[in-house]
Structure 1
Amino acid sequence: MLIRHLTCALLLARAAAALTADKNSQPFTDLEKLIEQARSTQEHILDDRAIATEKRGEICTRDNLTVRRPWGSLSKNERKAYTDAVLCLQSLPARTPASVAPGAKSRYDDFVATHITQALHIHYTGIFLAWHRWLVYNYEQALKNECGYKGSQPYWNWALYASDPASSPIFDGSAYSMSGNGKYVPNKGIITLTLGDFPPIYLPAGTGGGCVTSGPFKKMQVNLGPVTLPLNNGSVLTGTGLEYNPRCLKRDISARVNSAYANATSVISLILKNKNIGDFQMVMQGIPGSGSIGVHGGGHYTMGGDPADDIFVSPGEPVFYLHHGMIDLVWWIWQALDYKNRRDAISGTGTFLNSPPSPNTTLDDIIDLGYAGGGPITMRELMSVHDGPFCYTYIL
């Protein structure tokens, strides 16, 4: 118990000293420059392609790129249009048969069920980045094609609000947010994360913990899970996650986690210091045994609660898609810094930390989101945001 509290104290000290960002800070300026550089690289590629082909109406060009923007840059009407579309998706009937996922009751749940059933093949594997790129894209298309959404998928810039995410436009609880924090639950203690035989990681609890009580998703019902939800006493709930288990959306927003793991310095360091895809995606997810949960874990545990903290059921949290939009943005920037060599760079096998051992991932491997939609597609088609089915870019 003493070791646990000392570890938590060290984490809190690290969080307090961590470099966060506002729009005037150097790390945020560096991130702006990297995005501009990635955009420039993309535009040169598209311009060269347009010159080389006569089929200009059939290819992605800089003129028909869909632009993904951070949540805070959207107007109030644009934010409401997005949350209205998410609520619409939650009102439509599921396509997943009850024989596959009895708890899938809505179209929204189709995406959650797919993530549950494939979770051990899409984290710490060779398809982690591409699989989630494909999931977010198909979620965006469902919002557009099935719920009339006219905008694009927004993203959550963790770095901008790292010191106080709860007051950000994403979580401020207004009608134009993604809803606020959960109701405060006192004396929660710390969260203990375990991964096999590696030393545990201790995370400070956030400032909520209970049901979300404000904003568009205050009445949202979570239908699936939990599977492996870390609780504040260190215990874990287990189950298939596919049964019907209706409950409220819970959040436990943590500035300490955000500041420690998903601040501007973390993002810049991830992009610039990792020269190969294996290191890049491993550091992003948190190297097992390193004591870090990476920016990927940083975003999830900044949201906190149920289902955000559950690696299987996390898409049940609507901010999941904004979080993974940022994950995709960071990958896009990293690729653009050496596009020729990084466009098709992949590393890893088909199973979680290669357990059980499985073949290396290849560009010919098939990704299939099942009832979430999108159809089977090769890894090769998912490696660039302006090739295959994609034609989008990011701005800060």
Structure 2
Amino acid sequence: MHSRASSAAVLTPTGDAIKTSDAAELLRGFNDQATAGLERVEGSSKRSVEGCSLYNVNIRKDYEQKAYIRAVQRLLTRPSKVDSSAVPGARTRYDDFVAIHINQTLSIHGTGNIVTWHRYFLHSYETALRDECGYEGYQPYWRWFKYRDNPTENTLVDGSEYSIGGDGEFWEHNGSTAGIGSVKIPPGNGGGCVTNGPLANMTINIGPVRPGMSGVKANPEGQFAYNPRCLRRDLSSYTLIKWMTATDLINITVLHTLQADQVAGTITILDNPPSRNAVKEDTISMGVLAKDVTIGHLINTLIGRPLCYVYV
């Protein structure tokens, strides 16, 4: 991509977006402005397709369904590639991705590589679906604000043939926690095993490490030990209705940013002697999932090596 400051898109909410209570409109406006900015930078003439541009870019869409689900199902049947002595509980390629994330959790959250690590992790997952499972599309994403008031109606989790399974069966519990236990979420109508949809009766083999749902215990044999159990789910609109509105997103931005700054500042004070800063030359490792790359190769999704994608 060219680096012309005069052509850069400035992402500011429009008046219409501010007035609506639908946060999806605000997010959609940002996306449209970003796309328009890229088009201005690219110019009206096509550049060489040897690199990555809007003319040969991979496009990630809002949840493409059946083909994606079939590929995930295949990933769940393919054998694991991780070292069995390190992760004895892994049985499938899907387990490999779970294991890599568990193994690096403490070094990829609250650190300078949090965005780029997860970006490469998802790229590796997308590559596995395409190269190993016959998937011809690209990694879809979940547009959070769809069906905000009633997530059980979302085709992503409604239990239909197009979904990743529905809500879990009713299981009496006292709710769940998020944010290191600081956010209390009341129990929904599920909590038990997912028994409908394409991923019904799916077996989870490793973990859990720190379960958020009351009544669910961590793996007693260790985080990587074989611990077969069902996929559980308790869908809830509690956090969506409470916080995910356009008004809330706009009004709390400053306070949210200050809280993030407070946390970062406190961590900096406690980091004594200080650890070094994250730099573009730092290595991002995916183990058996993908080749090592540096943060610098993951900052821009249009850099072409290894990333070349946009969202629509």
TM-score normalised per structure 2: 0.82
CA pair 168-255 structure 1, distance change in 2 beyond 3 A: same
Aligned to 1:378: 294
- 1:254 maps to amino acid: S
Please tell me whether the aligned partners of residues 367 and 378 of structure 1 are also in contact (alpha carbons under 8 angstroms).
yes
**Structure 2 CA distance for aligned equivalents of residues 174 and 227 of structure 1:** 30
Q: Note the 1:66-145 alignment, pairs <5 A.
A: 66-71=58-63, 74=64, 79-145=65-131
Aligned to 2:154: 168
**Structure 1 CA distance for aligned equivalents of residues 189 and 273 of structure 2:** 38
Please tell me whether the aligned partners of residues 31 and 268 of structure 1 are also in contact (alpha carbons under 8 angstroms).
no
Please tell me whether the aligned partners of residues 226 and 239 of structure 1 are also in contact (alpha carbons under 8 angstroms).
no
Task: Give the CA deviation at 1:29.
Answer: 2.5
- 1:369 maps to amino acid: M
SS in 1 for 2:183: strand
Please tell me whether the aligned partners of residues 193 and 201 of structure 2 are also in contact (alpha carbons under 8 angstroms).
no
CA pair 121-357 structure 1, distance change in 2 beyond 3 A: farther
1:204 maps to 2:155: no
Task: Give the CA deviation at 1:231.
Answer: 3.5
CA pair 154-265 structure 1, distance change in 2 beyond 3 A: farther
Determine what percentage of the aligned residue pairs are the same residue.
37
**Structure 2 CA distance for aligned equivalents of residues 370 and 39 of structure 1:** 34
Aligned to 1:155: 141
1:190 maps to 2:183: no
1:361 maps to 2:274: no
Measured against aligned partners, the alpha-carbon deviations of 1:185-208 in whole angstroms (never above 9, x if no partner) come to 13x11334574xxx8432212221
Largest Rg, 1 or 2: 2
**Structure 1 CA distance for aligned equivalents of residues 236 and 206 of structure 2:** 24
Please tell me whether the aligned partners of residues 364 and 378 of structure 1 are also in contact (alpha carbons under 8 angstroms).
yes
Task: Give the CA deviation at 1:358.
Answer: 2.9
CA pair 264-185 structure 1, distance change in 2 beyond 3 A: farther
Please tell me whether the aligned partners of residues 162 and 258 of structure 1 are also in contact (alpha carbons under 8 angstroms).
yes
Q: Which runs of 5+ in 1 are unaligned?
A: 1-20, 289-346
Q: Note the 1:297-308 alignment, pairs <5 A.
A: none
Please tell me whether the aligned partners of residues 22 and 245 of structure 2 are also in contact (alpha carbons under 8 angstroms).
no
Please tell me whether the aligned partners of residues 227 and 239 of structure 1 are also in contact (alpha carbons under 8 angstroms).
no
Measured against aligned partners, the alpha-carbon deviations of 1:101-160 in whole angstroms (never above 9, x if no partner) come to 111111111111100100011111111111111111110111001111011111111112
Please tell me whether the aligned partners of residues 49 and 56 of structure 2 are also in contact (alpha carbons under 8 angstroms).
no
Task: Give the CA deviation at 1:359.
Answer: 2.1
Aligned to 1:40: 36
Please tell me whether the aligned partners of residues 230 and 237 of structure 1 are also in contact (alpha carbons under 8 angstroms).
no
TM-score normalised per structure 1: 0.66
**Counterpart pick for 1:243 among 203, 225, 235:** 225
CA root-mean-square deviation: 3.3
Task: Give the CA deviation at 1:354.
Answer: 5.9
Please tell me whether the aligned partners of residues 27 and 268 of structure 1 are also in contact (alpha carbons under 8 angstroms).
no
Task: Give the CA deviation at 1:210.
Answer: 0.3
**Structure 2 CA distance for aligned equivalents of residues 258 and 355 of structure 1:** 38
1:216 maps to 2:208: no
**Structure 1 CA distance for aligned equivalents of residues 146 and 132 of structure 2:** 32
Measured against aligned partners, the alpha-carbon deviations of 1:279-322 in whole angstroms (never above 9, x if no partner) come to 49949xxx86xxxxxxxxxxxxxxxxxxxxxxxxxxxxxxxxxx
Task: Give the CA deviation at 1:239.
Answer: 6.1
Measured against aligned partners, the alpha-carbon deviations of 1:54-95 in whole angstroms (never above 9, x if no partner) come to xx1311121111111112xx4xxxx11100100101111111
